[in-house]
A = this chain, B = another copy of it.
Amino acid sequence: MTKITARQIAAQTGVSIATVSRTINNNGYVHADVRARIEAAMRDLGYLPNQAARNLATGRTRTVGLVLQTLHSPAFVDMTEAIQMTLREKGYFLLMCNTQFNQQIETDYLRLVQSGMLDGMITNAINDTATEMRQLVQQNYPIVFINRSLSGIEGQPTRTGFVQMDLQHATFLATDYLAGLGHRRIGVMTGDMQLSTQQRRLGGYREALQARGIEFDPLLVRAVAVNRHEAVEAGQLAPKNANALHEATVQATGEFLTAIPDVSALIVIYHTMLPGVLQAIRQMGRRVPHDLSLIAFSDFPMAPFLDPPLTVVAQPSTEMGHKAADMLVALIEQPSQPAQHVLLKPELIVRQSCKPYP
């Protein structure tokens, strides 16, 4: 564990550390012979430049953060892997974080950008109200939001980017499909209503209802709010929190279906809620799709093998990951400019969890 330094390489080769540095970074002029000798010495001694020193000297780390709420969602996993691969191609590392819906963790990671440990960050985890985040944006740190928006920065030159799936269209697709099958009482199981995304999601729902001449009934939208605030207050960590969400979902779904028995179709917005919803349905003795049609968000490899095979609205997660990473790197490496937006389309994948209203 003896640390080899550039100084030692320099001594060994009989040059100055400046020349060693030039060789490492492949900039400036270095004679081919000298370069070869330096590289040989580096290889022989197993030298690797100290990253902390480089970071300090250059003011960059070539590391970016990815802050997500959870990885228990195949869409996020796909996105994560896509982001990582793209970043790698561009020479960046990824520091990852799941907040588990804990806002404190979000804030801590934001600080990492300000403390110079991260060159930028990609996130879907930020509540719009977070003033910390606004501050970061204002201070011109490169940030890409996934499926989130941030008001009040329009037209301003910042280093902010947005990659979004068309959430409104996603719920529209699901709702329209169900309405087309004759369903009128279409329930929605969703999460934290505070998020800016909820408006767009519900917008698509209402749009589809309206187009079909169905009246919107707010009672049909049920939010299971195991959100960051509760999680923080309860001091809950990952596994506990996951269970809490599951239990809450089972209970909420049960109550919902009992209270509004004429619901004939259900849209499940968050993948993490799906097992809970399925369990509640099973416990109540209702059967999909005979007694209840079901559409979930995000496709996943096991969806065709569920009982019944699940109809879903799929997100272009991998593509979103690539775009987000591309965008962030551009923001890091270029001067600030008005925010970029990328909007990708969801897709309805019909399997067998919905059937026409009798």
Give the B-binding residues of A (Cβ under 8 A): 1, 3, 46, 48-53, 55-56, 59, 61, 63, 70-72, 74, 77-78, 80-82, 84-85, 88, 93-98, 100, 105, 111-112, 114-117, 135, 139-141, 237-239, 246, 274-275, 278-279, 282, 300-302, 304-308, 318
Contact = CB atoms under 8 A, between A and B. Distances in A.
A48 B115 contact: yes
A275 B84 CA distance: 24
A63 B85 CA distance: 21
A105 B88 contact: yes
A302 B306 contact: yes
A111 B238 contact: no
A160 B293 CA distance: 52
B56 A81 contact: no
A118 B97 CA distance: 16
A57 B300 CA distance: 46
Contacts of A105: 88
Contacts of A116: 3, 50-52
A304 B246 CA distance: 14
A112 B140 CA distance: 28
Nearest to A105: B88
Contacts of A82: 238-239
Contacts of A275: 301-302, 304-305
A177 to B, nearest CB: 21
B77 A93 contact: no
A140 B100 CA distance: 33
5 contacts: A48-B114, A48-B115, A56-B56, A84-B238, A275-B302
A141 B318 contact: no
B93 A95 contact: yes
Contacts of A93: 95, 97, 112, 117
A95 B94 contact: yes
Contacts of A307: 305-308
A318 to B, nearest CB: 5
Nearest to A80: B71
Given A82-B238, A278-B304, 14 more contacts: A52-B117, A55-B55, A55-B56, A71-B71, A78-B238, A80-B98, A85-B237, A93-B95, A93-B112, A94-B96, A95-B96, A278-B302, A278-B305, A306-B306
The 8 closest A-B pairs by CB, nearest first: A307-B307, A52-B55, A96-B96, A51-B117, A275-B301, A52-B56, A81-B238, A48-B115
Contacts of A70: 81
A99 to B, nearest CB: 10
A81 B98 contact: yes
A300 to B, nearest CB: 8
Nearest to A62: B117
B95 A81 contact: no
B71 A81 contact: yes
Nearest to A307: B307
A100 B55 CA distance: 28
A305 B274 CA distance: 10
Nearest to A237: B85
Contacts of A282: 305
Nearest to A76: B71
